[in-house]
A and B are shown apart, each in its own frame.
Chain A
């Protein structure tokens, strides 16, 4: 099998005004849909970060990808690595730094989809076989502004409880994750207590302030939420800061900010900065790399969960296949999926039932690109008026002079 074309189509997906420590989600989330055509007539698909930087990277990658056997993945990874200097990519989801790991990952997903279609096997089979047929996801709770969506404004503990209730009613989520770093840490602690009170101790809770807090705040919050949080995610910036918090915090610390690449692991492990690594195949260099990450986490006694960005069904299918194939992912994975109403796959949105997504049945990823739907979202991208995500700028449209908290709240 030979790749005959690599196509990257930018799309913009309607996104509610969700808040985080970085600011405010714009009216559209940017994604890129990847298509890998082959001489066998099958076309593999993938989905990754959106905007100008990924598009430039895909354009440059055509020379490395076209003409190559889609099975030729490790040599492709090395080739991409030798074209673009490898560096620890950090906050890749901002898509400003769409580096070699993210680029390779997006192509790998499409290649595995093509191989799966060609061989009649699911992607999870190609990754070594599923250890589970259904993958648990967590309700991703956001503070948010009122917007053109059914959720309304959510800027108080009670409103978050109502949001969580809706999420649970609709999708059956059995774990709850609160995106923090938005309101005063004191209010966010209260929000966690409200969630505990509303849903009981059988529903695991997580809090993720995206490194907005100071070490002192993190110490205080961690101590007070002892026995309440399943894990505390990225309370402060940096491996050293996380190690300072970890030395005191009674619950495990998780990260998708200070450990986002294999190169970050040695220092983080040596300093005991984190107990749980949030994988993300988009960022960590692919689905096979995520399988490898699982073995490394097991060896070093680290837990493993999964990170998410605003995404469509192709990404959700890929996340489900990966999570099904990695035994070490024992925590419910993150997903923004309920926040998006638009879709690019045939049949519309994938179902989340009982808080889980079933492995799609068909070969490959098991989802098919709806070209008309993609075309419409591409048109939306062209009209969106921006090609780089900037949540802080979006926030300043409402609060001029707004600045994100980074380790100082």
Chain B
């Protein structure tokens, strides 16, 4: 008997894979500091790659990855090319499949589009594994809580005047959101004034964060950061360039307000550098952006070991599961941008998002989504 033949299979194999790219429109275009400084155009839609993995036991896992602005078609093309490699695999061998898909595209690297395409497969395999057990993804990983603190960024972009920001924040709090994040990174005096107005309007008890979207240099971050200390912020997010590990570490050493960063990093190895350098108090990995749940868990475990809070970026529907399975409670970011794509809605109350009581991630693609379908591929073809 060969060694291979004695390794127990799970009893199921991947029989088919469906990849689809959707361009999901936002209710209205949004701008952060990167637009005001001329680096980016306003964001009008989000490209979402949805991968469905069907297995011989009748289950289907659903995973997704996404791209804001350019990159969606590249994500889809990459996914379409690697999808056939999953067919025939044991769907429980998630790590092995992750490596296989990464190696298939080793020439284009271990970060960015290359891992972001793999992320959709990785999430789908985790979704299916949880469905196999009939439990939520959070429960599959092991929950510490049934819900996670959440904050809202939707109402506080730079393009929004402060009166509207305050009104939006009050509406968010009223509908059950726990904290409010305000975009900064424009004119420093205006930024500080807006934070002051928002804090005055909401009172001392509402958790407030600010997000500079990498628009300050080290000196500006120090100076503005010091002026923001009095507002008792939960964190200052992305004060510096997303890859400036040393700058974040130095800033963190000089400010009491916690420093958060990590959303723009597109590989787990980048997160490791931030964590090992002690550059942040709050790390903000984004599972689709760094290759899925497999690398996310490595980042989250290391962060936890180092006493760093994990507050995943975007993709609330997925991250609520991962944050519920994290020993130290972090935050999830409440975003409704992806909502139209899916049938289900997350429950939100008392400042918290609740892990849905459905098997897997608990998401299914809405029949409405077909209007936003850009491309699709089915493997094997003609299924």
Contacts and interface: CB of A to CB of B under 8 A. Distances in A.
B359 A4 contact: no
Contact of B359 (A2, A66, A82): A66
Contacts of B226: none
B367 interface: yes
B190 interface: no
B40 interface: no
Contacts of B358: 5, 62, 66
A81 B62 CA distance: 21
Given A2-B367, A4-B343, A66-B358, A59 B134 contact: yes
Interface stretch (B51-59, B65-73, B154-162, B213-221): B51-59
Interface residues of B, number: 19
Contacts of B343: 2, 4, 39, 67
Given A4-B344, A60-B134, A66 B56 contact: no
B268 to A, nearest CB: 29
Given A60-B134, A62-B134, A67 B367 contact: no
A66 B136 CA distance: 12
Given A4-B343, A62-B358, A81 B364 contact: no
A64 interface: yes
Interface string B37-58: 0000000000000000000111
Interface in B317-367: 343-344, 358-360, 362-364, 366-367
B367 A81 contact: no
Interface in A180-212: none
Contact of A78 (B58, B62, B344): B58
A109 B60 CA distance: 23
Nearest to A67: B364
B131 interface: yes
B58 A1 contact: no
Interface in A1-54: 1-2, 4-5, 39
B367 A62 contact: no
A79 interface: yes
Interface string B57-91: 11110100000000000000000000000000000
A403 interface: no
Nearest to A64: B58
B224 interface: no
A201 B308 CA distance: 87
B59 A64 contact: yes
Nearest to A3: B364
A82 B58 contact: yes
A39 B341 CA distance: 13
B255 interface: no
B134 A66 contact: no
B58 A79 contact: yes
B344 A63 contact: no
Of A1, A4, A81, most buried by chain B (CB within 10 Å of CB) is A4
A62 B134 CA distance: 7
Interface in A195-232: none
A80 interface: yes
A83 B366 contact: no
B374 interface: no
A80 B364 contact: no
B141 interface: no
Nearest to A60: B134
A1 B368 CA distance: 10
Contacts of B57: 82-83
Given A63-B359, A67-B364, A83 B344 contact: no
Interface in A346-360: none
B30 interface: no
Contact of A63 (B56, B132, B363, B367): B132
Contacts of A81: 58
A1 B56 contact: no
B174 to A, nearest CB: 25
A83 B134 contact: no
A62 B359 contact: yes
A63 B134 contact: yes
Contacts of A64: 58-59, 131
Interface in A114-129: none
B74 to A, nearest CB: 28
Contacts of A59: 134
Given A39-B343, A63-B132, A82 B367 contact: no
A5 B56 CA distance: 23
B56 A39 contact: no
Closest 4 CB pairs of A and B: A79-B58, A67-B364, A63-B131, A63-B359
Interface of B: 56-60, 62, 131-132, 134, 343-344, 358-360, 362-364, 366-367
Given A63-B131, A83-B57, 12 more contacts: A2-B364, A2-B367, A4-B343, A4-B344, A39-B343, A60-B134, A62-B359, A63-B132, A63-B360, A64-B59, A67-B60, A83-B59
30 contacts: A1-B367, A2-B343, A2-B364, A2-B366, A2-B367, A4-B344, A4-B364, A39-B366, A39-B367, A59-B134, A62-B134, A62-B359, A63-B59, A63-B131, A63-B134, A63-B360, A64-B58, A64-B59, A64-B131, A66-B359, A66-B362, A67-B60, A67-B62, A67-B363, A69-B367, A78-B58, A80-B58, A81-B58, A82-B57, A83-B58
